[in-house]
Structure 1
Amino acid sequence: MSVLAADVLRLLDPRAGETWVDCTTGAGGHARLIADRVGPGGRVIGLDQDEGMLALARPRLDGLPVTLVRANFDQLPEVLERLGLERVDGLLADLGFCSDQLDDPDRGLSFRDDGPLDMRLDPTSGQTAADLVNTMGERALADVIWEYGEERHSRRVARRVVERRAEKPFETTREFAEFVRGCVPRSPDSFRIHPATRVFQALRIAVNDELGALDRLLAALPKLIRPGGRAGFISFHSLEDRRVKQVLFRSPDVWTPATKKPVEAGDDETARNPRARSAKLRVAVRI
């Protein structure tokens, strides 16, 4: 289910004949909405580093003017050059995760079901979360948990992880989540949020270099969006939203914000799609 679908179409306003990029195609929901708007004379470039997501999206986008490319969104300049495109009319990046990814225990993105401690969005390359927690030095691991998860007990968690892995390396999501639960003191929100949530977020961001990729995309945007073009980002935590706000909303010589504050889902949408509860949409227009 596409998050903030109506607001995306209203604020980004894709028009007939335009060329757009969906930076995170996922199951194809947003790409389909945009492709319907740009029509047969337009084009949508859909990126995703996960071939499994592209395979899921292909039949859903069949017959629409969509070109799917396996690539991370920080590779967008190279992708456009390869396709013979210099600039595009608009871009959307939904920085969340498709429910199909979260529900697949083999990916290790969630501890709701037990699975390997992996977390890679591209399962064919790079280090897994297990590699990080079983090999990183204590200080480096604590820094990752603090900087990417904003977990105030990061030092304690890192110390105990290093002590425990000397006896037996961590292998599965549930095993690691339950271990972290025992490291984090109970707090008023521990009944609402699992104590391992922030640690899992930190590891996932580190494994996939999510913030580095976002920084690289934001830096490249001015050269990729035509004057009058629109850029939209849906973020799900403050680390992402802070970066988007810093670039799109504090560069008056490059971008004009389309909204003063981020757009959030209303009660009706969050009731239908709980994933939308933490989503924030920011849109800006290229000067």
Structure 2
Amino acid sequence: MTRTIRSRCWTGRVSGQVWGGDTVTDTATAPHIPVLLEPILARIAPVEGVWLDGTFGAGGYTRALLDAGAERVIAVDRDPEVFQRAASWAESYGDRLKLVEATFDRLDELADEPLTGVVLDIGVSSMQIDQAERGFSFQKDGPLDMRMSGSGPSAADIVNGAKEEMLADILYQYGEERASRRIARRIVAARDDAPITRTSHLAKIVEGALPPARPGQVHPATRSFQALRIAVNDELGQLVRGLMAAERALAVGGWLAVVTFHSLEDRIVKRFFQQRSGGAPRGNRYAPEPEVSEARFELVSRKAVVAGEEEMTRNPRARSAKLRLARRRAVEAGDVDLSTLGLPPLDLTGERR
């Protein structure tokens, strides 16, 4: 279901963020700092036309685009809470800003004209992680939920209902967790005693299945929580469908900017851009030589853009971020060879893709 949302009032600023021209100054109180914003603005300048921000969040990219000269921004998010937070400032942009509650994989249906640009900041926001009641973080005890939209099966439903083999596949495919089978066995044994409904309970089970983390290593539950979050929200499927929708929605010369935060996301975006810019899809020695597709995009750079030291110091979340950017060419949108994109062959039903 798609809902268009109107804000009610304007206070003049977002708490913790002061905006001016093409830049944003972030303070310690900012709920979510947009990553790699300045490199995006620098490469797409001059900013103009109609843009779609498919992962609205705290509105960082949306506000920057509007303040830099975009005529209009369609701001999309599946999380209804983000629009409640935006009510204090969105009104000031009037008809230049349209807020839509939907998933970005339908972005071509949400735009009523060819788009000048699409920006996607993939994954969970720091605001969602900070809310213990959303259940995204193992660092804060809360209900084992992880649903961005608040609907559909939760992480608790998967943890308590999926078969052991399915749990292991989720942890391995979506979290790249090498000890997935061991962790899945521990989860199944624990839920036989009592349902696993809290983030702290699951984190303790995962910790008990793994050796203690050495200094400098991530928390033992990091990969498992990532895997469950991706599975609950179908994040990788959303990403693939969103990339294809952007190809259909963009005008000739339109920009597609995608910011990712882990290797699974970046691999999909990298291979999509490779295939859609005329590169040969990845094959193997047993398959026929793949055909080179006609280029639908022109790459701005073959290498991902990463944050500089200054941004990483100001915003530690930027350390794992990668930006890939391309422009739409005058070639009709076409079919995408999904087998080349690196999408794990798994979904919540347990069926192979």
- 2:34 is aligned to 2
Partner Cα separation in structure 2 for residue 14 and residue 28 of structure 1? 20
Q: Is the 8 A contact 2:255 2:325 kept in 1?
A: yes
Give the aligned residue type for 1:47: V
Identity across aligned pairs (percent)? Answer: 45
Alignment of 1:214 with 2:245, yes or no, is no
Deviation at 1:255, TM superposition (A): 0.9
Partner Cα separation in structure 2 for residue 67 and residue 54 of structure 1? 11
Partner Cα separation in structure 2 for residue 14 and residue 36 of structure 1? 12
**Structure 2 SS opposite 1:74:** helix
Q: TM-score, normalised by structure 1?
A: 0.93
Q: TM-score, normalised by structure 2?
A: 0.76
Deviation at 1:87, TM superposition (A): 1.5
- 2:122 is aligned to 95
- 1:30 is aligned to 61
- 1:254 is aligned to 296
**Which residue, out of 111, 134, 152, partners 1:107?**
134
| Structure with bigger RCO (C-alpha 8 Å, 6+ apart) | 1
Q: Is the 8 A contact 2:107 2:246 kept in 1?
A: no
Give structure 1 stretches of 5+ with no counterpart: none
Partner Cα separation in structure 1 for residue 186 and residue 156 of structure 2? 15
Deviation at 1:57, TM superposition (A): 2.1
Deviation at 1:78, TM superposition (A): 2.2
Give the aligned residue type for 2:82: M
Deviation at 1:223, TM superposition (A): 1.4
Alignment of 1:181 with 2:215, yes or no, is no
- 1:12 is aligned to 44
Q: How many residues align?
A: 278
Alignment of 1:148 with 2:174, yes or no, is yes
Q: Deviations over 1:171-214 (max 9, x none)?
A: 1111111110111234656x530000000000000000111111
Q: Deviations over 1:114-145 (max 9, x none)?
A: 1000000011x101101100000011110010
Question: 5 Å matches for 1:1-287?
Answer: 1-13=33-45, 15-16=47-48, 18-39=49-70, 42-64=71-93, 65-80=96-111, 85-123=112-150, 125-186=151-212, 188=214, 191-252=216-277, 253-287=295-329
Aligned-pair Cα RMSD in Å:
1.4
Q: Is the 8 A contact 1:120 1:208 kept in 2?
A: yes
Partner Cα separation in structure 2 for residue 103 and residue 152 of structure 1? 27
Partner Cα separation in structure 1 for residue 85 and residue 100 of structure 2? 13
Give the aligned residue type for 1:241: D
Partner Cα separation in structure 1 for residue 122 and residue 46 of structure 2? 19
Give the aligned residue type for 1:3: V
Partner Cα separation in structure 2 for residue 14 and residue 25 of structure 1? 21
Give structure 2 stretches of 5+ with no counterpart: 1-32, 278-294, 330-353
Comparing both structures, which one devotes a greater share of its residues to helix?
1
Give the aligned residue type for 1:122: S
Deviation at 1:14, TM superposition (A): 5.4
Give the aligned residue type for 1:147: Q
